Amino acid sequence: MRMIDCAHKWATGTWAQYKSHFNRLTSFERLFQVTILPNLNLTIPPSSTAITGMWAMQHYVLQSPRGKPTERIKYNTARGLRSATYLFHEIQATLKHPHTATKDLSTDHYRLSPGTSPSDALAYTHMSTGMSRRLGTATSPSKAITFEMIWWNEIYRERVWKKLSSQKAPPRQLYDVAASASAEILSFLGWLRGTECFSLQWDDIDITPPHLGPTQGLKRGLGMIQLFLQHATKTSQTKRADVVIAYQTYGGLQPGKWIKRLFILSLQLGYHESFLFQQVDGTPWTSSYYRHNILIPLLLLQRQEGNLILQKLHSPDPISAITTAFWSWHSYRRGGRTHVSINHPLASRLATRDEVLEHGRWRHQSTGDLPLHYQEWEFPTRLNITALCY
């Protein structure tokens, strides 16, 4: 199978196209008694760490994912073994060959003189490319959350908040409501990844109420929330990214109101020096916990009330349909990004390309837009996308 995947590095049409050329070359060899395509006579089977690494990948794709005995491991999962092999040999190269191990800036891979990582061997590259064609690389992205779903959830939580407040419920119950709303709205407006959201601590957040907006160069009545991300996913780990979010959006979302409520409750519960979103035992929430215990139940209620998008999801049962569709925290990042690109009746305008690139914290490639890479925006400009486009 390793050799079959190697052969599948090239398309079937390529082999058919070159067959006639191979025949012409071998005819030329016979006619003039020269060698162009030498025969490969192996006295023993080839052996190297590249080949054993390929065997490990081939073995892995024969396995079944946990809890899914009728399925097989996908190529995108198996290729992690190749990355791990590369990382191991790159680390070894820095120790064994400190003077000859270099980084190829065009590929971001290391090079030795002579030598290279087994995972970069030509045979390994061909096998991996062929395997990707055989198994496919297509994945089903997590479905985007819509503004209407966020809006419905906020109205629902506001009703629950008022009911619990009138009943003088314990602070922890109110905390769960405020934390649920804050995590959702901040992630939708800030395009946060799961790790970025649930690793936030109170030291990582700066809140400017609307009446103090001028202290940050904002117009009076315009406030903001600034998040300092601990994990700069997809960007340089030497830089600490920050996200700026409007205290209240043009369309009526109110992250400032919920985060203020959450802070007051965190003070009462003694959480103000720890994570924004945490369990009773102090451990932080996770995207899996949030989706299964908070988001999915509310989406089920929305489906029952007639949300057409949720009703069109096909599966044996509603829970399975929604869980399968919204399987990742990227639902919020994709939903927030999608919303600013459409003409929504509650938004003032669409986001510009530069605003999207700035707000999304996309990784800039060396061949990217250099003028954009060097621009620096102040808070009023950075705030426009969440203040006006939602």
Encode pLDDT of 96-108 as tens digits: 888 778 777 677 8
Residue after which a domain boundary falls, among 115, 135, 155: 135
Contact 326, 143 (CB under 8 A): yes
DSSP-assigned beta bridge partners for residue 228? 242
In this structure, the answer to whether residues 91 and 211 fall within a common structural domain is: no
- The verdict on 127 and 235 lying in the same domain is no
pLDDT value, residue 373: 57
In 3D space, the residue among 330, 337, 361, 362 whose CA is nearest the CA of residue 351 turns out to be 337
Instruction: Calculate the average pLDDT of the chain.
Output: 90
Question: C-alpha distances in angstroms, 353 versus 46, 99, 152, 358, 372?
Answer: 52, 44, 29, 9, 10
Question: Looking at residue 241, what is its pLDDT?
Answer: 82
Do 212 and 355 lie in a common domain?
Answer: yes
More confident residue, 298 or 8: 298
Task: Give the domain range for residue 305.
Answer: 147-363+373-388
Token duo for residue 342? 């459409």
- Indicate if 189 and 332 belong to the same structural domain: yes
Strand ranges in the chain using DSSP code E only, listed in sequence order: 102-104, 109-111, 205-208, 224-228, 242-246
- Residue 187 placed within a domain: yes
Shared domain for 188 and 87, answered yes or no, is no
Same domain, 168 and 276: yes
Q: Which residues pair with 254 in a beta bridge?
A: none
Per the model's pLDDT, the better-predicted residue between 48 and 299 turns out to be: 299
Least confident of 79-83, 226-230, 289-293, 327-331: 226-230
C-alpha torsion sign, points 153, 154, 155, 160: positive
Cis peptide before 371 (omega within 30 of 0): no
**Is 88 in the same domain as 163?**
no
142 is a domain residue: no
pLDDT band for 382, please (50, 70, 90 cuts): very high
Are residues 211 and 351 located together in one domain of the fold? yes
State pLDDT tens for residues 303-327: 999 999 999 998 789 999 999 999 9
- Return d(Cα 187, Cα 332) in angstroms, integer: 6
Q: How many domains does the chain have?
A: 2
* CA 283 to chain CA mean position, Å: 23
Rounded to two decimals, the pTM is 0.72
Whether residue 368 is contained in a domain is answered as: no
Which helix (H) or strand (E) segment holds residue 166: the answer is helix 147-166
Answer whether residue 158 is part of any domain. Answer: yes
Residues 130 and 192 placed together within one structural domain of the fold: no
The torsion angle over the Cα atoms of residues 181, 183, 186 and 192, rounded to 10 degrees, is -150
Residue given tokens 């999207």 in the structure block: 356
pLDDT band at residue 367 under the 50/70/90 scheme:
very low
Tokens of 72: 């097989």
Specify if 68 maps to a domain.
yes
Q: Are 117 and 174 part of one and the same domain?
A: no
Task: Please calculate the CA angle 358-244-185 and round it to the nearest 5 degrees.
Answer: 110
Q: What percent of the chain has pLDDT over 70?
A: 93
Share of the chain above pLDDT 90, in %: 68
pLDDT at 365: 45
pLDDT higher than 60, residue 137: yes
Residue 359's domain is classified under what CATH number? 1.10.443
Q: Please check whether residue 141 lies inside any domain of the structure.
A: no
Q: Are 206 and 323 members of one domain? A: yes
As a whole number of angstroms, the distance between CA 200 and CA 130 comes to 42
361: exposed, middle or buried (C-beta count within 10 Å: 0-12, 13-18, 19+)? buried
Say whether both 339 and 239 belong to one domain: yes
Determine the pLDDT at residue 67.
86
Confidence of residue 236 (pLDDT cuts 50, 70, 90): low
> Please, what sign has the CA dihedral across residues 275, 279, 280, 283?
negative
**Residues 363-368: contacts with CB under 8 Å, at least 24 apart:** 363/234, 363/235, 366/105
d(CA 285, CA 192): 15
User: Is the residue at 200 inside a domain?
Assistant: yes
Which of 67, 101, 135 is where one domain is finished?
A: 135
